[in-house]
Structure formats: structure tokens, C-alpha cells
């Protein structure tokens, strides 16, 4: 595991020791994502069934070609919805709605230092269950789920085999590849980074001279190694399929981890207000370190 992610895990440990509104928000957004992914095929809005050949479109049985067109249109429609959200709020879907990102969260929850064996087992189980739910909802687009218990021995072996491979793959991704995938390999993330940095809604930094205690928790917790206080700084090439020399804003997942860490640090210090926020902003800010130094010297 990279050194940077060890630092993130230490900050996460401190931050997650108290509940936070983002836990509930993330649970709801992820539930919604998985529900949309599962409901479309399960209700027969669009599904191709490679097992029994009973394909569906608009809740009725349909020829294969029509059902396949429905599946493609359904996937494209989901893409358009997430794209529109990205026009307003950058890669917020990556931070809040993408099941692959959530798999990474479950994967790293196992590595948070100081876990008792029961906590670790719980984290492992949650990760495995979420991975299974994700893989099942993807499979539901292509096969009637009844194949798992009503199929011929060969069909059941095929279905259970696919599920096992998918769960092991998703789980392994969360344990080992994790955010590196979002940073350097995700083609959708790359596309969003190009076309829609969060222009109006997202993480922003305010009040740097009054309230930032320079604890660096926000930098250390960022899963994709950004500087949340300075998202307009250009990020050099990060390898893989990521873009080079674009502002950090383009890469930001708007996941809110930096804000959560910031809120906790400010709370522990008894200071305020919180300098990092998630919301509407009138343009990303840059840290003017010289100005900050001058202001501090002026006060001293
Ligand atoms: S800058 Fe903050 S919101 Fe953006 S990816 Fe990093 S931790 Fe998440
Ligand atoms: S976490 Fe908050 S207080 Fe700490 S350095 Fe970042 S912005 Fe400043």
C-alpha cells in the first residue's frame, strides 16, 4: 500500500471515530445508485436474457434486437444523467454515486489502523456484500436472476461462476487498486475531468486567513492526492489515462472527505468557522500564500 494511502487511513481513523452527516448521505446516494442499476432490468424496462431468451423492453417481452437497443439506450440515459450532474458539480458522481468508488471505500475500511477483529470482520463482510449487490445488479441487465436457482446445472454453474468472479474482482479492486483506478485508469472519470470541472457546486476554500489552522488533514485525507485548499493549481501528469496540467478542480471527486476532516480538526481545536465547504461557489479559489504571510506578519 502506498505511503500516501497510509496517511489517509490514519486521518480516516480519527475522522470516523464520530458519526457524520456524510455517512447517511453516502448511504442514501449509494442505495439510490444501486437501486437504479437493479430496478431497470428487474422491472422489465429493458433486459436481455441470455439464459432463457425472454427479453424485455418497456415491461413487455420483445425480440432480442429491440431489447438490446433498450439496454443500450438505458445505459446511455444513465450516462446522460450523470453527465448533466457533472456539468454542475464536476465529478460528484464519482464521489457519491459510483459503486466502484464505494467498493474502494469498503476496501480501505478493512485497513484502517487499530481495528479489532470483529470490526475488521464487519468491514470485510460489508465490502463483500456490497460487491455482490453491485455485481448482481449488473448481471440483471443480461440474465434473468432466476437462473441462480432454476437454471440447468450448467446454467447455474455459469451464473454462480460469473457472480463469484465478479465479487472477487470487485473486492480485490477495493482492497488493492482502490483510488489509483479513479486517479489514473477510469475512462469515465477521465472524460469528466476533461469536459466538466465543477463550475458552480463543489468543494471550496474560504476564509483562509481567519480560520485555517494549517493542519494539512485535508491534503492527507484526499483519496486522489489533491490539495483541497488550492484546487486551481495545475496537477502534473499522474500516469495512466489522466490528463496533465489541468487544475486539481478537474480531478476532484467532490467526495467531501477533506471537508469532513477539516470539520473534525476545527472542532477538536475549538476554532471556527470551518474553512473548507461543499456547496455553491462563485469560482474556485487559490491560496495566496504570500498574502497570507503578509497578513499574519501584520497581525503579529
Ligand atoms: S479535494 Fe476533497 S472533495 Fe476533492 S477528491 Fe480530494 S478529498 Fe475529495
Ligand atoms: S483541514 Fe481545514 S484547517 Fe486543516 S489545513 Fe485543511 S483547510 Fe486548513
- Nearest by Cα to 124 from 135, 115, 136, 137: 115
* Cα–ligand 2 centroid distance for 222 (angstroms): 12
Tell me how far the alpha carbon of residue 39 is from its chain's centroid.
Answer: 21
Distance CA 67, CA 45 (A): 9
**pLDDT given for residue 3 in this prediction:** 46
Q: Tell which atom from ligand 2 comes closest to the C-alpha of 261.
A: 1
CB 234 within 8 A of CB 245: yes
In sequence order, the β-bridge partners of residue 246 are: 235
Model pTM above 0.75: yes
Atom number of ligand 2 nearest to Cα 276:
7
CA of 2 to the centre of ligand 2 (A): 23
Return the pLDDT at 234: 86
Q: Where are the alpha helices (DSSP H) in 17-60?
A: 21-42
pLDDT score, position 198? 59
Which residue in 107, 43, 114 sits closest to 74, CA to CA? 43
pLDDT at 283: 58
Task: Report the pocket of ligand 1 as residue ranges, CB < 6 Å.
Answer: 95, 203, 222-224, 226, 228, 252-258
At residue 208, the pLDDT reads 58
Report, as ranges of residue numbers, the positions in the chain whose pLDDT lies below 70: 1-4, 196-199, 207-209, 282-300
> Residue 28's pLDDT is what?
96
Instruction: Return the number of other C-beta atoms located less than 10 Å from residue 168's C-beta.
Output: 13
Non-local CB neighbours of 77 within 8 Å, separated by 6+ positions: none
Compute how many other C-beta atoms are within 10 angstroms of the C-beta atom of residue 153. Answer: 7
Ligand 1 atom closest to the CA of 228, numbered from 1:
1
Residue 209 pLDDT:
67
Residues 158-181 have pLDDT tens digits of 999 999 999 999 989 998 899 999
Q: Who lines ligand 2 at CB under 6 A?
A: 212-218, 229, 261-262, 265-266, 275-276
Q: What are the start-end ranges of the E strands in the chain?
A: 46-47, 56-57, 60-61, 201-205, 234-235, 246-247, 276-280
End-to-end CA distance of the chain: 43
Position 6 scores a pLDDT of 86
CB distance 54 to 61 below 8 Å: yes
Q: Phi first, then psi: what are they for 89, rounded to 5°? A: -125, 30
- Residue 275 CA, closest ligand 2 atom number: 7
C-alpha gyration radius of the chain: 22
Question: 7, 218, 260, 292: which to mutate for ligand 2, most atoms within 8 A of CB?
Answer: 218
C-alpha distances in Å from residue 78, one per residue of 25, 30, 90, 285, 297: 20, 15, 16, 31, 52
Ligand number, closest to the Cα atom of 212: 2
Amino acid at each position: 500500500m502506498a505511503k500516501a494511502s497510509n496517511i489517509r487511513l490514519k486521518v480516516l481513523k480519527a475522522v470516523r471515530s464520530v458519526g457524520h452527516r456524510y455517512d447517511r448521505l453516502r448511504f442514501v446516494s449509494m442505495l439510490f445508485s444501486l437501486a437504479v442499476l437493479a430496478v431497470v432490468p428487474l422491472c422489465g424496462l429493458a433486459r436481455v436474457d441470455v439464459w432463457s431468451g425472454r427479453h424485455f423492453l418497456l415491461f413487455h417481452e420483445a425480440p432480442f434486437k429491440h431489447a438490446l437497443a433498450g439496454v443500450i439506450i438505458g445505459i446511455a440515459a444513465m450516462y446522460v444523467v450523470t453527465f448533466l450532474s457533472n456539468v454542475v458539480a464536476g465529478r460528484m458522481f464519482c464521489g457519491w454515486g459510483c459503486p466502484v468508488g464505494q467498493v474502494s471505500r469498503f476496501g480501505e475500511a478493512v485497513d484502517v489502523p487499530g481495528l479489532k477483529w470483529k470490526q475488521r470482520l464487519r468491514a470485510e463482510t460489508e465490502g463483500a456484500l456490497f460487491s455482490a449487490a453491485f455485481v448482481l445488479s449488473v448481471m440483471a441487465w443480461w440474465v434473468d436472476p432466476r437462473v441462480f436457482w432454476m437454471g440447468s446445472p450448467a446454467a447455474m454453474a455459469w451464473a454462480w461462476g460469473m457472480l463469484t468472479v465478479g465479487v472477487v474482482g470487485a473486492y480485490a479492486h477495493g482492497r488493492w487498486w482502490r483510488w489509483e483506478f479513479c486517479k489514473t485508469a477510469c475512462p469515465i472519470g477521465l472524460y469528466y475531468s476533461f469536459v466538466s470541472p465543477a463550475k458552480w457546486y463543489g468543494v471550496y476554500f474560504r476564509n483562509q486567513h481567519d480560520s485555517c489552522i494549517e493542519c494539512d488533514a485535508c491534503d492527507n485525507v484526499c483519496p486522489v492526492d489533491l490539495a483541497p485548499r488550492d484546487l486551481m493549481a495545475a496537477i502534473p501528469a499522474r500516469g495512466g489515462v489522466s490528463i496533465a496540467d489541468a487544475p486539481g478542480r478537474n480531478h476532484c471527486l467532490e467526495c467531501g472527505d477533506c471537508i469532513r476532516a477539516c470539520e473534525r480538526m476545527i472542532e477538536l481545536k475549538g476554532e471556527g468557522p470551518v474553512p473548507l465547504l461543499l456547496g455553491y461557489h462563485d469560482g474556485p479559489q487559490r491560496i495566496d500564500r504570500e498574502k497570507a504571510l503578509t497578513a499574519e506578519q501584520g497581525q503579529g
